[in-house]
Structure 1
Amino acid sequence: MSDVWGGVVNPGIEEMVGALWGKSAEKAGGRRNVLLSHLLDTAAVAERLWGGFLAPSTQLVLDEIAGGPGKGRRFFSWLCGVHDYGKATPAFQRMWPEGAETVQKAGLTWYDHLLLRKTWRHDRAGGHLLCRDLAAVGWTEQQIDWLWPLIAGHHGRFPTRRELTPARTARGHLAGTGSWPLVQRALLERFTTELGFENIAAAAPARMPSRAVQLHLSGLIVMADWIASDEQHFAGVDDPRLVTYEAARDRAAKAWSALGLHRGWGQHELPGPEAFHDRFGQHPRPSQTMVIEAARRMTAPGLLVVEAPMGEGKTKAALLAAEILAARFGADGVFVGMPTQATSDPMFGQVRTWLGRIGEELPPRVALLHGKRMFNPEWRAMVAGSENDDDASRFGGVDEYGDCWDDDPYGVTSDGRDGATPAAGPGARGPAEWFLGRKRGLLCPFVVGTIDQLLLAATRTKHVMLRMSGLMGKVVILDEVHAADIHMSQFLMEGLRWLGQAGVPVVLLSATLPPRQRQDLVSSYLAGALSREEYTADGLPEPGGYPSVTAAWPAGRAGHPAEVDGSPEPRYLVEHCPGWRTDLSVVLDILPEAVPPPHAQRKERDEAEEAAARAVADLLERELATGGCALVIRNSVARAQKLHTLLRKRYGAEVHLLHGRLAAGDRADRTARCLRLLGSARETGGERPKRLILVATQLAEQSFDVDADLLVTDLAPVDLLLQRIGRLHRHDGVRRPDRLAEPRVVVTGVTALDSGAPRFPGVSEAVYGRFLLLRAAAQVRQALNGPQAGDGAAGWRVPGQVPELVATGYETSDAALPPRWREAAETARMKWEATERQRAETASASLLTRRGDREARTLAGLHVAGRAENGDDATAEWLVRDGAPTVEVILVVREGSVPHTLNGRALSVNGDVGEELLDDLLAGTVRLPQSLTEAALRELRPLPGWHGHARLRYCPALELDHRRTAVLGEYEVTYDHALGLLQRQLTAT
């Protein structure tokens, strides 16, 4: 071995290189693993990723970085393998006594007294050594500057350059003195030449990728490291003479086969004109053809915004558009983000069916990502035989005696085994089990989950690179983006910025968007694609009709998604077409509610709520006298429960209740029952109940395929009001009572509209703000006072008027407001705008990039002032969704000394749960209202018998007495199978 810095290597240097350990015997199957062996193992895994996982677009980027076609693979392997170079330091080598003794016997020394109570993480040490050693062989400053953060950040957080420097008080002994620099350089040279480079200088990249691509590569480095750290497949090699790249390749090949890892569809062929019928069994509607053709006409990866009414078929159009975009721009999979867990479940099945029409091998490669996925029968059937579906069962440990926290990708498995990831279970019919571990779900080729998955990828949390890397290389589809509030929108815009810079095609779906929101979405994507700190799409045309499609992409970037400098001006394509259904003339009516003033006494408020519930009940009694199916949407659980109680006395079993404080099992059963009774003819078999009343909260607002003859709804902002109207006369061919033959919506939850500014129930204002409610009330008032729906009735044309109504509802001018309301509206507007600014600022503190840092060229310091959270799924909702955290608990009923499930099945005295009872127990999971969070965190713990259970050990139990009641903090909590969770304050406020 010759010294690349000139001269001849000391004969003992090779022995010293071989003495360096990378994994202790405890972490490598009982034998020390030579450091060079782990570097080569990781490089060999990277080769497997290249050949069997990376998207064609990613391979193209890596070829460009490395200097031309065919060069990217070896550079990628080198980049992944060099990640643990920092372990070649006394700071790390001293941490395992047995390994330290071997290193010192080989002639490498340090002064322990100088290193006591001093740490230097090996990831940062690796960045420091590479800055020194790559410069010494001629790498340029630019080449080094973008690469070292990938090495220094491979344990989840990117430090600043200053944070790489070891403590001065160690007098150089953390990095190593004497022979240490020579040994470190010899290790780097040996590793580099094993991969086939002539020398270290020859490994230098030819160009600098965008920061988004750097983040993508960072996630892939972590993935390769975690796979190569699996002792089950990469047992220790303690004889340096056996360490070769060919041996590492052999180990990687066997590991890859055993783990069953797979890519998406690889090089996807461009779908032809017949593809829509082949995939979905029907010919495309005009709006679907419009979307598909827009995808074909885009000349570079970009953003596609689809706006169409409910039931128009946006999802099918988006899926085929995703195929086209993937084929044209080299994506290897799809992420479909939905607004809620409930909407993710049916989409999961739809995506699997679509992929099955493309290739029979693809449906098992779809992952479902949300916290309640084990309640989805299709998912459970897919992962049957898998040992590792529960993310909470695997948590980070301490890597090598405290060097890096939360680094161990394996932790504890579901059966209690330490430090080894299980192979895919023999009965598994779903994604490779490796993808089911924590923080890895988005790396699966095809993913359906909540939009939170994307939003969390835009946060400054640990291992964010894994999440973002899971999105890059895919086509991203986000449904119902109008549902994102101002807080969530900050993360959505940040995510779009990164995806735009990475050249990821994105398809956004919405019933309709306020013009400002549409422009903001496009501007954010283009700001990333053009690598601008700020960008405003001023030239973006407004759609001229509805349904519409808006496409935007950076010109001059076809086939070059990693390019840093974009075209000065983007390209736009904006089109519209007629919808497939004619407009519904929806009749509007109002049922005023006597809302007490804000400071009214509790008794007055209770009496007013009782009167409001009676008024709705009386209305339904009149309207449903000859039968019919009504949907009543209330803005709070308490209002829904109160109305349900009253209606139940009049109609008995004809009344159903659906809200978010039902136990998981009850909620799933009721949702399925409602869809069966009120769904499409396909779901109901053409039969509907003679009379039915469904009382629901906002759960019924979106992606809830029920068809009501009559809608009664609390007032909400106009876009959400229109979403609710989308449940009215939703399907053709439904027989309805003559009295309800025309679609009709009755608006309540507001005082009379014919005098001064109206009042709204306090809960409505708390959820939506007074300003947007006033604007919606003004639009309802205008419809009531001016016939618009036809036949002289007051109302709206849906969906024809939807864009106009939404645009008006989010204006800030007072032109559409009655003069007597304007002073109150101005006060409400100022408060609303101040609140929106505050919510946006709160979110900005956790965004992946800080304001003023968006044109940075590298990842250095990306995690400065980042969140303390580790970026786990459990923290996602409360980081990216505005609001105080709430707690999920499992309800158990204690009869004597024995706890029972909510359905009455007995557990052991300590709560031990056999597998045959687990589902029944988990069906009692319920989310507590925010008012109970503090008491729940303080008072509730898992039952003793749950402590060793992979899926229960972190689940607090709320123990109810035989009356299904418990005291929690200052509240009495009761679970009623009809009403769900109830709470009553014990002390007066």
Structure 2
Amino acid sequence: MLDTACAAAAVYDLWVPDTMKRWFADKLRVPEGDVRAIYIFLAGVHDVGKATVTFQCQGFRAEFEALFSAVRDAGLPGEMNVKERELRTFPHGVASGIIVGNWLSAHGCDPRLSQVVDAHHGVASSGDLSTEKCALDRYPRPWKDVHEELIGAMAELTGVEPALERACGSAARRIRVPVLQLLTGLVVMADWIASDQDAFPMVVDASQVERLRRGLELTDLTGPIAFRGLRESADQIFNRSFGFSPRTVQRELYRAAAALDGPAIVILEAETGAGKTEAALAATEAMGIRAQGIYFAAPTMATANGLLERVMDWAARLTEGGEVSSLYLAHSKNQLSEPFRHLRYYGVGRDHGDAGSVVASTWMSGRRRGLLSNIVVGTIDQVLMMALRQRYSMLRHVALAGKVVIFDEVHAFDTYTSDYLERTIRWLSYYGASVIIMSATLPPSRRQALARAYTEVPLPEVPDAAYPLITVATEDSARVIPVEPAPTNLAARVRIIPDSLSELVAELEGLLVDGGCVLIIANTIERAQETYRKFKERYPQDVELHHAGFMALQRVAKEDALRAALGPTSHRGSGRPHLRIVVATQVAEQSLDIDADVLITDIAPMDLIVQRIGRLHRHKRPDSDRPAKLLNPQVLIRGVVKRGPVPQFNSGAAAVYGRKLLLATLANLPETFRRPDDIAGLVRTVYSDGPEIPSEWRDAWEEAMREDDQRVSTAHGRAATFMIPEPEDTKYFSDIFSLPNSELAELDCEEKGNAQVRDAEPTVEVIPIRRSGEGSDVYYACGGNFGALVESEEPSYPVARHLSSSTVRLPARVTRFNRDFEAVVGGLEELTPVGWRESNLLKGQLALPLDPDGEITLGRFTLRYTDELGIEIASDDSLKSV
């Protein structure tokens, strides 16, 4: 109890930002000193439920008999009463909640505060606890005296009783659920720190002050970042942090942020390549004065990896010398990132003069505690899970409530994910956190929805031609700031071409007479693979394939190589290829800094086409870098199977995006696209209530609108299934966890949680390996040159790390139906090497054991994996009868 109370004092004094302390004080209507006392008290008594017969006897296991005998010898009866025996389980957290609740009631305080200790194992109790309460009511007086003594001693030590009277006495208002949620998150932090037997060993050999000092040295908590942004101008910040002077949109965003005197949502809409990342980081320096740190949320793991080094470099220059900040890469494959692995051992910042240092905290690491670091770069899923009913959600809430949260590439979110985004923003707003949202452009309705999630103040009208645009909204004000647009930097001819691959090859042959770098974006992996195969026949050495169906390790390496070849520093004759055809899916659509000479893209919604065009003539280059035929940028659009009288789209495009947006986009495609001039107008038109549609399309348009309405309605319904209520509507603490424990346990798995906040079919992650032959107990890792591995033996750490970094997702079609799921997953469970069960890195993972030809048959599917094409369905029995 003392260890946890002391850990809580350290967490409050060292880690909790001033804004969170003031928020608690405001919500509880007490001075900040009372907040500290209440928190330390709750942390100190959170395990009082261990003083019960159920916990002390531990099922009367033999190894604990001697310990329990000492309890009996102290005069405490060791027999359960009849009500306690009726209970199948009696978790000590539930017992703690009841005991502390009784104590609070006896002292004239709102017993709801006891739910903090009840929920410290990740879930607030719900349902009827009458049997548990009756069991404790029937405890004999010696046990009740112990409960009183333990709680009373902690109350005296913390001096909490006057604070409790002010916060939850009879005259105080009811404590709101968000307050309970954050208090519980802080109690969990203190509990986990005190439970670390390295930091707080089970032997006491020094004073409590010395014990705490030693424990904190091993815990390595870092305090809120000492942002120095408001002491500098925009020019000073950009030159210090990034080594260049700000562009107009960057300067205006910083000024808007610096003018704020409280939390806000800031939405930046600017073209690709405008420096939105640096603009957001600079704005954070102003807004972060009141924050514990930042979370930079990227749309994918690959984009998070790409951002990491830029953020690390910024972080190293962020604070004064001597200040230490912690940084974490938040996604399930962070072990693949060499910069992050290097940070864990060496830190950064030593070579930046008077800058502070940045470390990867040992204690603040892992999928739950990593978010507690000052600076977190990760996927958006990790933030959206804030709105998910999930075990230990309170730790995610307390980690994010004190941060500036930056959302990148928001235009790419569908209805389902947008619901989670808006609910997350609502909770961040309630906690007083600031939010920055970045997008190439947003439909006006999306801009309004995002601002409305943060504040009830309506946005003013936005001029039609306003772009770039900055929107700033606070609790009591909202404004839009049109920014002087950059000069036209691209005028690309846009045309639709036939969808056949033979005609695409012929088209490119005419364009590539002197080489060139081509980017072809397909809407599905299968279509990308098909396109790649066709070009491989004609250009065997000059075509490459990128999609999400490669092993994670390979995908990272392929994208790094692509950035190096087509990035801003490569030139023809010096890194940039003479001829390169890059075939990719949407992985090339966002946050990938590559520059193509010509773009071929499948039809997609207008905002995504604009985003894809962001890879076209992205960087200023000398004419010698581009072939003469490709000096003028061109966009060729595929996927329109039939132009008239009513358009028909490739089935993949229609399935992914729906016909409504595709029809509206096709009807409003310009013959020439000018960047940035045309961006806002095109997106606004396509997403308006009544875009211009040819009269002969009217019936198809109305049908597409009905399909879209149904699609949106279904998406809203699915999103609501696992989403927590809005903070103002959350009446009971248990409402945040109101799912069966089995479903909560599933959502507690990071992969399940990530999947739940995306509107995508659930897929199964596997690790391809190669069998040496049928019936053999020898297998080989794909890549790595590790030699033969024996199925029954635990792999060495280097092998296990390589294998765990080699995951790939099966195509959704393979596990879409229950019968297929059972056949595929059941088969893989039997075929996964037994030795993996002994490895911490591989336990629970599924192997995909391939034969010497790289194939495996599971149920009615034959799957193939190759380093060239990635995962693919080689055959499907359901198609053989067609």
Give the structure-1-normalised TM-score. 0.80
CA drift at 1:204: 5.1
Check if 1:314 corresponds to 2:196. no
* Aligned with 1:572 (options 478, 490, 493): 478
Check if 1:337 corresponds to 2:337. no
* Aligned with 2:189 (options 206, 220, 223): 223
Distance 1:921 1:226 in 2: 30
- Listed one character per residue, the Cα deviations across residues 554-603 of structure 1 (whole Å, up to 9, x for unaligned) are 1xxxxxxxxxxxxxxx201210112344242121111133xxxxxxxxxx
CA drift at 1:92: 3.3
CA RMSD of aligned residues (A): 2.7
- Alpha-carbon distance change, 923 to 87 in structure 1, aligned in 2, over 3 angstroms: closer
8 Å Cα contact 2:270/2:440 also seen in 1: yes
- Listed one character per residue, the Cα deviations across residues 440-464 of structure 1 (whole Å, up to 9, x for unaligned) are 2211121100000011111111110
Distance 1:542 1:135 in 2: 58
1:495-894 equivalence runs, <5 A: 495-526=424-455, 535=456, 537=458, 539=460, 541=462, 545-554=466-475, 570-593=476-499, 612-681=500-569, 687-735=575-623, 736-753=626-643, 755-780=644-669, 783=670, 794-813=671-690, 815-849=691-725, 854-856=728-730, 859-865=733-739, 867-868=743-744, 869-894=746-771
SS at match of 2:616: coil
- The amino acid that maps onto 1:758 is P
1:529 paired residue number:
none
Distance 2:86 2:399 in 1: 38
Check if 1:260 corresponds to 2:223. no
8 Å Cα contact 1:67/1:205 also seen in 2: no
1:173-184 equivalence runs, <5 A: 173=136, 176-184=139-147
SS at match of 2:474: strand
Distance 1:652 1:253 in 2: 64
2:835 paired residue number:
945
1:477 paired residue number:
406
Question: Number of aligned pairs?
Answer: 838
SS at match of 1:349: helix
1:383 paired residue number:
344
Distance 2:153 2:573 in 1: 70
CA drift at 1:550: 0.3
SS at match of 1:966: strand
8 Å Cα contact 2:770/2:852 also seen in 1: yes
- Alpha-carbon distance change, 200 to 645 in structure 1, aligned in 2, over 3 angstroms: closer
SS at match of 1:366: strand
1:608 paired residue number:
none
Check if 1:134 corresponds to 2:99. no
2:350 paired residue number:
none
8 Å Cα contact 2:767/2:808 also seen in 1: yes
1:45 paired residue number:
7
- Alpha-carbon distance change, 986 to 288 in structure 1, aligned in 2, over 3 angstroms: closer
- Listed one character per residue, the Cα deviations across residues 131-152 of structure 1 (whole Å, up to 9, x for unaligned) are 322222232x4xx43x222122
2:263 paired residue number:
301
Higher helix share: 2
8 Å Cα contact 1:149/1:860 also seen in 2: no
2:351 paired residue number:
none
2:249 paired residue number:
287
CA drift at 1:179: 3.9
2:352 paired residue number:
none
SS at match of 1:383: helix
8 Å Cα contact 1:137/1:200 also seen in 2: no
Check if 1:954 corresponds to 2:875. no
- The amino acid that maps onto 2:788 is L
8 Å Cα contact 1:711/1:745 also seen in 2: yes
8 Å Cα contact 2:327/2:374 also seen in 1: yes
Distance 2:573 2:180 in 1: 53
SS at match of 1:546: coil
- Alpha-carbon distance change, 487 to 106 in structure 1, aligned in 2, over 3 angstroms: same
CA drift at 1:542: 5.8
- Alpha-carbon distance change, 74 to 543 in structure 1, aligned in 2, over 3 angstroms: farther
SS at match of 1:116: helix
- Listed one character per residue, the Cα deviations across residues 842-883 of structure 1 (whole Å, up to 9, x for unaligned) are 111111217xx7334663543223642352322222211112
CA drift at 1:177: 3.6
Share of identical aligned residues, percent? 32
- Alpha-carbon distance change, 198 to 926 in structure 1, aligned in 2, over 3 angstroms: closer
Distance 2:767 2:7 in 1: 41
Distance 2:635 2:180 in 1: 52
- Alpha-carbon distance change, 198 to 536 in structure 1, aligned in 2, over 3 angstroms: closer
SS at match of 1:284: coil
1:198-277 equivalence runs, <5 A: 211-236=177-202, 247-266=207-226, 270-273=230-233, 274-277=236-239
Distance 1:317 1:308 in 2: 11
- The amino acid that maps onto 2:458 is A
Check if 1:92 corresponds to 2:92. no
- Listed one character per residue, the Cα deviations across residues 742-801 of structure 1 (whole Å, up to 9, x for unaligned) are 111011100343x32211111111111111111111112xx2xxxxxxxxxx22222211
8 Å Cα contact 2:795/2:836 also seen in 1: yes
8 Å Cα contact 1:632/1:695 also seen in 2: yes
* Aligned with 1:120 (options 72, 90, 98): 90
8 Å Cα contact 2:344/2:361 also seen in 1: no
CA drift at 1:96: 6.1
SS at match of 1:893: strand
Distance 1:485 1:349 in 2: 29
* Aligned with 2:860 (options 970, 980, 989): 970
SS at match of 2:280: helix
Which 5+ residue runs of structure 1 have no aligned equivalent? 1-38, 387-427, 527-534, 555-569, 594-611, 784-793
SS at match of 2:790: coil
CA drift at 1:429: 8.6
- Listed one character per residue, the Cα deviations across residues 135-194 of structure 1 (whole Å, up to 9, x for unaligned) are 22232x4xx43x22212211111234x6443347xx545662434434322321111112
2:116 paired residue number:
150
Give the structure-2-normalised TM-score. 0.90
- The amino acid that maps onto 1:545 is A
8 Å Cα contact 1:887/1:936 also seen in 2: no
* Aligned with 2:795 (options 891, 900, 913): 913
Distance 1:523 1:204 in 2: 31
Distance 2:735 2:139 in 1: 25
Identify which range, 456-465 or 359-368, moves more after superposition. 359-368
- Listed one character per residue, the Cα deviations across residues 481-515 of structure 1 (whole Å, up to 9, x for unaligned) are 11221111111111111100000011111111111
Identify which range, 686-695 or 516-525, moves more after superposition. 686-695
CA drift at 1:362: 6.9
- Alpha-carbon distance change, 986 to 452 in structure 1, aligned in 2, over 3 angstroms: closer
Distance 1:336 1:881 in 2: 18
Distance 2:405 2:80 in 1: 52
8 Å Cα contact 2:53/2:79 also seen in 1: no
Identify which range, 261-270 or 959-968, moves more after superposition. 261-270
Distance 1:675 1:267 in 2: 32
Distance 1:683 1:438 in 2: 40
1:103 paired residue number:
71
SS at match of 2:674: strand
Distance 1:821 1:878 in 2: 36
Distance 2:163 2:429 in 1: 33
Which 5+ residue runs of structure 2 have no aligned equivalent? 348-356, 816-820
Distance 2:480 2:596 in 1: 34
Check if 1:902 corresponds to 2:868. no
